Chains A and B, each alone.
Chain A
Amino acid sequence: MKIVIVGNGIAGNEVAFSLRERTPEHEIKILSAEKFPEYDPCSLPYYIGGDVPREVVFRRSLDDYQNKNITLVLDSPVVSIDPHAGAVVTAKGEKHFYNKLVLAHGGRLFIPPIEGVDRQGVLSCKLLGEADKLSEHGGSTAVVIGSGAIGVEAAEALKKKGYVVYIIELLDWILPALFDEATARRLEAALRTYGIQVLTAEKVLRIDGDTAVTGVVTDKREIPCDTVVIATGVVPGTALAQTAGIEVERGIKVNSRMETSVEGIYACGDCVETIDACTGEDVMFQLKHNATEQARIVARNILGMNATYTGAYAFARAHFFDTHAVTFGKTSRSTACLLGDTEVIERENGKDYLRLILLDGKVAGGQAIGTYADSIGLFMGAMWRQDDIKTLRKNWVNIVRAGSPYPWIYRKMGWLIGLSATDVSSDAAAVCQSF
């Protein structure tokens, strides 16, 4: 069997190497738009910021492909699919025949229709080639357009390199898809303390400059700068799938076996639209762990193992300098139009903040900053198990009285959401003295 994989990213590699782990048979070929062995997009901001050397972004070397008998064709973006002939065509005009095809080409950077986006010094950090340019760029003032996780990470990276940094967000608060306003405002304040200028509810109108960037014009001001980073999101690559007549919506539609609407063609990773593992809703999270898990399902189904994907989940961190935050599941905003009783539990202790979103008494999502974030896994567990927080409240006294036979995680969750002031967790500082 000839297996062709489009895209040499997280998902594509996971498909190829999981297949090889299970069988020495079949021809496995990856067609890559880029010139590198697998790297991790998540690592790019830390390479740009100088936290790690460039080689750390790579997950594999060219030898790894050779050793596993996987053919890697570099610099060959696929431009069309002919499902009747069972072939794909690359930009170079080369044809590659397949028995099974896997679309794992992710998404592409969304470039907003702003005048001047083609100026020199308008950069991004979605691809390694772009990250290289940004890393080598010798600017001094940068405007980051878009405050999603990638924008915030890029801002931190450039700040570390000594740039004066602005972040511009069109919506009312930063990280708008991941965090609610209360959490985001705290993160915004934290960013400012590190000297990053955060401008929300502001629209970029134009990028100025003859050839090189000289400034950014918004609906509120003009910012002179020599660097612009586009971080306005990633759009799933659906155009390629459409050349094969594959059904797409926001992303490529797949069933629970990760099959597209055209037989013999699978899809996984940032290019697909799938379901939320907890709620069953159609979602596009575009996160690494989902790409990995989907890819493993593809590999098993190609080998006829009949594996079912149970869904994707939202889980992301926001981290810059010594501020640490995390989010999972739904935000208040994304529950706003759902039926059912919603409740928000908030806890605050100095800079630490916990926010839990309950839907009908069950954890639907959570956000945390600082030490509360370190225990967020307990609440994610509660979401997966569908623990009833109302019951936890009602039974709290009994849980404490029952002591150790009752799973301690309930004890800790109760303490974290303030059911008891005295039920304290370990205090390393206090114990230190007693050693």
Chain B
Amino acid sequence: MSSKDQKIFVVDERKCDGCRECEKACSHKHFGVCSPRHSRIRIEAFGDGDLFVPVFCQACGDPLCIKVCPMNARIELANGAVVTDEDRCIGCRTCVYICPVGAPVENPVSGKLMTCDRCAEDEELPLCVQACSKQQALRFVDARVVARTTARECAARLKAAYKPPKVPE
């Protein structure tokens, strides 16, 4: 699959009302429990609930976590997701520290780090996105479509958060 055919997440935190259905869906899919601690997406809440932000791995281009992992445990999947190979991970959290938004989450069962796998290939849409259908804060769209419209707007808004260091590609 070429990167152009890949789908990407579009996050609009202005639409997030903090219902946390995404966390439930994610933890249920991967662990069979509804628990935010088991979720690879997390909702950060600010103030008196005036701001909710879905935080999860966006699989940035040329991910820094891959470069800094001492165990070479961070790997890019064919579907574009960047995940942890648990056989290599030692739980050192370097991937959390280098991440612009601290996305990786500790797997409460294994103690290794984990990130969004886009529900691998076995769902039509990642379950968090399905769970967010009402709010539309999370969408999973064709990279080509989004490149021209929403991405630009989204990127402008989130540039500050996701702007990687000035490193060569």
Are the C-beta atoms of B166 and A310 separated by less than 8 Å?
A: yes
Chain A neighbourhood of B45, CB < 8 A: 424-426
Q: Output the least CB separation between B71 and chain A (Å).
A: 5
Q: Does A40 contact B (CB under 8 A)?
A: yes
> Interface size (A, Cβ < 8 Å)?
56
Q: Cα distance A392–B50 when bound, in Å?
A: 19
Chain B neighbourhood of A74, CB < 8 A: none
Q: Cα distance A374–B105 when bound, in Å?
A: 10
Chain B neighbourhood of A412, CB < 8 A: 44, 46
Contact with A along B134-160 (1 / 0, CB 8 A): 000000000000000000000001101
Interface residues of A in 154-181 (CB under 8 A from B): none
Q: Cα distance A431–B39 when bound, in Å?
A: 12
Residue picked from A42, A315, A317, A377, most chain B C-beta under 10 Å: A377
Q: Output the least CB separation between B102 and chain A (Å).
A: 5
Are the C-beta atoms of B161 and A293 separated by less than 8 Å?
A: no
Are the C-beta atoms of B71 and A319 separated by less than 8 Å?
A: no
Q: Does A289 contact B (CB under 8 A)?
A: yes
Q: Does B118 contact A (CB under 8 A)?
A: no
Residue picked from A296, A373, A376, A404, most chain B C-beta under 10 Å: A404
Chain A neighbourhood of B47, CB < 8 A: 400, 403, 422-423
Q: Does B42 contact A (CB under 8 A)?
A: yes
Are the C-beta atoms of A377 and B167 separated by less than 8 Å?
A: no
Q: Does A362 contact B (CB under 8 A)?
A: no
Chain A neighbourhood of B13, CB < 8 A: 404, 408
Chain A neighbourhood of B165, CB < 8 A: 277, 313, 380, 384
Q: Cα distance A324–B50 when bound, in Å?
A: 32
Comparing A51-59, A115-123, A135-143, A205-213, the segment that makes contact with chain B is A51-59
A288 is contacted by which of B35, B67, B167 (Cβ under 8 Å)?
A: B67
Are the C-beta atoms of B67 and A373 separated by less than 8 Å?
A: no
Are the C-beta atoms of B93 and A56 separated by less than 8 Å?
A: no
B68 is contacted by which of A315, A378, A425 (Cβ under 8 Å)?
A: A315
Q: Cα distance A369–B74 when bound, in Å?
A: 23
Contact with A along B57-98 (1 / 0, CB 8 A): 000000010011011100000000000000110101110111
Q: Provided the pairs A381-B100, A431-B36, A432-B37 are in contact, do residues A426 and B44 lie with their beta carbons within 8 angstroms?
A: yes
In the complex formed, the residue of A with least CB distance to B34 is A435
Q: Does B40 contact A (CB under 8 A)?
A: no
Q: Provided the pairs A317-B94, A317-B97 are in contact, do residues A56 and B71 lie with their beta carbons within 8 angstroms?
A: yes
Are the C-beta atoms of B36 and A309 separated by less than 8 Å?
A: no
Q: Does A36 contact B (CB under 8 A)?
A: no
Q: Cα distance A96–B44 when bound, in Å?
A: 58
Contact with B along A409-426 (1 / 0, CB 8 A): 111100100000011111
Q: Output the least CB separation between B39 and chain A (Å).
A: 9
Interface residues of A in 317-343 (CB under 8 A from B): 317, 319, 324, 326
Are the C-beta atoms of B166 and A277 separated by less than 8 Å?
A: yes
B51 is contacted by which of A40, A315, A317, A404 (Cβ under 8 Å)?
A: A404
Task: List 7 additional A-B contacts (Cβ < 8 Å) besides A317-B92, A380-B98.
Answer: A378-B100, A403-B50, A425-B44, A431-B20, A431-B23, A432-B35, A435-B35
Give 3 closest A-B pairs by Cβ, nearest first.
A42-B70, A407-B160, A326-B97
